[in-house]
């Protein structure tokens, strides 16, 4: 088979053409054994699978064939998977390495697993969807749309290791911050702290903000 960087694919029975490229994020309809008798339209957005295209494979056309420029009969894409909170417990990592429960991740938060790859038929793809990179410390990042899927963690299933993340537990309540699901939080910039706190937790604990002496800051 040949590897190509992109392909224009017309989904059978719909006439719709989608251009898929290596490096793009895509939506995948789960296998029937995972969803039972439900159809694609019965699934919620968080139940759909998502992956990143690593490779696109098509059959080698016969030299001089009139079909060289036509859509191939079939195509396969190699995907690296994203895990959602619903599939978090299937990552296969030992419990002590997981360290976190699925409830520590936001509803629309995904864990990128670049070493868990599978070839899937292109007909199982259900279109493209951008998975946004989210970094709690990146104050200049572009705003992530509400209800968009995002990722801030990366887990390598072949060596059972977190390469990025999991998300840190913040505040005195020791909960992780979930994008668009949490109340307003305040950041403590002191080098010994650098922690986010919920407004309600500060009020409940009767904490007070101490304003530093400006003259001392000027001396520093």
State residue 93's pLDDT score.
65
State residue 205's pLDDT score.
78
**Average pLDDT, rounded, for the chain:** 82
Q: What percent of the chain has pLDDT over 90?
A: 32
pLDDT tens digits, one per residue of 47-102: 899 999 999 999 987 766 555 567 888 899 999 999 988 887 777 666 666 666 77
State residue 65's pLDDT score.
59
Q: How far apart are the C-alpha atoms of 220 and 215, rounded to whole Å?
A: 9
pLDDT tens digits, one per residue of 167-203: 888 888 888 888 888 777 887 877 788 788 888 888 8
6 vs 101, residue with greater confidence: 6
Q: How far apart are the C-alpha atoms of 193 and 187, rounded to whole Å?
A: 9
Cα dihedral 33, 39, 41, 47 in deg (nearest 10):
-10
Strand duo 150-156 + 109-121: pairing: parallel
What are the structural domains, with CATH classification, of the chain?
Answer: 2-166 (2.30.30.490), 183-220 (no CATH)
- pTM value > 0.85: no
Q: What is the largest CA-CA distance in the chain?
A: 81
């Amino acid at each position: 088979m040949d590897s190509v960087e992109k392909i224009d694919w017309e989904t059978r029975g719909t006439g719709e053409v989608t251009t898929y490229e290596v490096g793009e994020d895509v939506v995948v309809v789960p296998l029937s054994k995972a969803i039972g008798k439900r159809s694609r339209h019965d699934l919620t957005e968080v139940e759909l699978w998502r992956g990143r295209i690593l490779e696109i494979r098509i059959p080698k056309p016969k030299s001089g064939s009139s079909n060289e420029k036509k859509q191939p009969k079939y195509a396969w894409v190699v995907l690296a998977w994203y895990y959602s909170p619903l599939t978090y417990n299937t990552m296969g990592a030992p419990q002590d390495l997981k360290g976190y429960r699925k409830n520590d991740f936001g509803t629309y938060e995904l864990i990128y697993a670049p070493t868990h790859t599978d070839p899937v038929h292109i007909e199982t793809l259900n279109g493209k969807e951008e998975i946004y990179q989210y970094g709690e410390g990146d104050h200049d990042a572009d705003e992530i749309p509400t209800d968009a899927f995002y990722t801030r963690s990366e887990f390598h299933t072949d060596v059972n290791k977190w390469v990025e993340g999991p998300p840190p537990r913040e505040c005195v309540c020791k909960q992780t911050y979930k994008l668009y699901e949490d109340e307003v939080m305040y950041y403590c910039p002191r080098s010994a702290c650098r922690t986010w706190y919920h407004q309600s937790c500060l009020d409940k604990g009767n904490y007070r903000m101490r304003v530093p002496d400006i003259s001392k800051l000027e001396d520093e």
